[in-house]
Amino acid sequence: MTLSVAIYGASGYTGAELIRLLTVHPDVKITALSAESNAGKAMADVFPQFAAYDLPRLTTIADLDLAPVDVLFCALPHGTTQTSLKAALETRPDLKVVDLSADFRLSDPAMYQHWYGHAHQAEALQTEAVYGLTEIHREAIAGARLVGNPGCYTTTALLPLIPLVGAGVIDTDNIVVDAKSGVTGAGRAAKVATLFSEVAEGFHAYSVGNHRHTAELDQELSLAAGVSVAPTFTPHLIPINRAIYATIYVTGDPEAIHATLAERYASEYFVNVLPFGEVPQSRHVRGSNFTRLGVVADRRPGRAIVISTLDNLVKGASGQAVQNMNVMCGLDETTGLKQLALFP
Ligand X SMILES: CC(=O)N[C@@H](CCC(=O)OP(=O)(O)O)C(=O)O
By the criterion CB under 6 A, which residues form the site for ligand X? Answer: 101-102, 151-152, 181, 185-186, 235, 237, 316
Q: Identify what 250 binds: ligand X, ligand NDP, none; CB under 5 to 8 Å per kind.
A: none
Report the amino acid identity of residue 329: C
Q: Identify what 132 binds: ligand X, ligand NDP, none; CB under 5 to 8 Å per kind.
A: none
CB of 39 to ligand NDP, least distance (A): 6
CB of 153 to ligand NDP, least distance (A): 9
Q: How far apart are CA 150 and CA 98, in angstroms?
A: 10
Please identify, using beta-carbon distances, which residue of 41 and 284 lies nearer to ligand NDP: 41
| Segment (H or E) for 247 | strand 244-251
Please identify, using beta-carbon distances, which residue of 164 and 237 lies nearer to ligand X: 237
Q: Identify what 13 binds: ligand X, ligand NDP, none; CB under 5 to 8 Å per kind.
A: ligand NDP
**Ramachandran sector of residue 308 (left: φ over 0; alpha: ψ -120 to 50; beta: rest):** beta
| Segment (H or E) for 140 | helix 134-142
Give the nearest residue (CB) to ligand NDP.
12
Q: Identify what 12 binds: ligand NDP, ligand X, none; CB under 5 to 8 Å per kind.
A: ligand NDP
Please identify, using beta-carbon distances, which residue of 212 and 258 lies nearer to ligand X: 212
Please identify, using beta-carbon distances, which residue of 56 and 287 lies nearer to ligand X: 287
CA nearest 95: which of 333, 328, 327?
328
3-state secondary structure of 310: strand
CB of 108 to ligand NDP, least distance (A): 19
Q: Which candidate in 152, 217, 224, 313 is catalytic?
A: 152
Contacts of 285 (CB under 8 A, 6+ apart): 243, 291, 292, 309, 310, 311, 314, 315, 341
Q: How far apart are CA 203 and CA 315, in angstroms?
A: 23
Q: How far apart are CA 39 and CA 170, in angstroms?
A: 49
Q: How far apart are CA 5 and CA 231, in angstroms?
A: 37
Q: Identify what 326 binds: ligand X, ligand NDP, none; CB under 5 to 8 Å per kind.
A: none
Q: Is 152 a catalytic residue?
A: yes
Q: Count each helix (H run) and each strand (E run) in the chain, helices first.
A: 11, 14
Please identify, using beta-carbon distances, which residue of 185 and 254 lies nearer to ligand X: 185
CB of 239 to ligand X, least distance (A): 11
3-state secondary structure of 98: strand
Q: How far apart are CA 39 and CA 143, in angstroms?
A: 33
Give the nearest residue (CB) to ligand X.
185
Contact of 49 with 55, CB cutoff 8 Å: no
- First and final CA of the chain: distance in angstroms? 37
CB of 186 to ligand X, least distance (A): 3
CB of 236 to ligand X, least distance (A): 9
Q: How far apart are CA 219 and CA 229, in angstroms?
A: 8
Q: Identify what 235 binds: ligand X, ligand NDP, none; CB under 5 to 8 Å per kind.
A: ligand X
Interface residue list for ligand NDP (CB under 6 A)? 9-15, 35-38, 61, 75-78, 80, 100-101, 151-152, 184-185, 187-189, 312-313, 316-317
Please identify, using beta-carbon distances, which residue of 246 and 317 lies nearer to ligand NDP: 317
Active site residues: 152
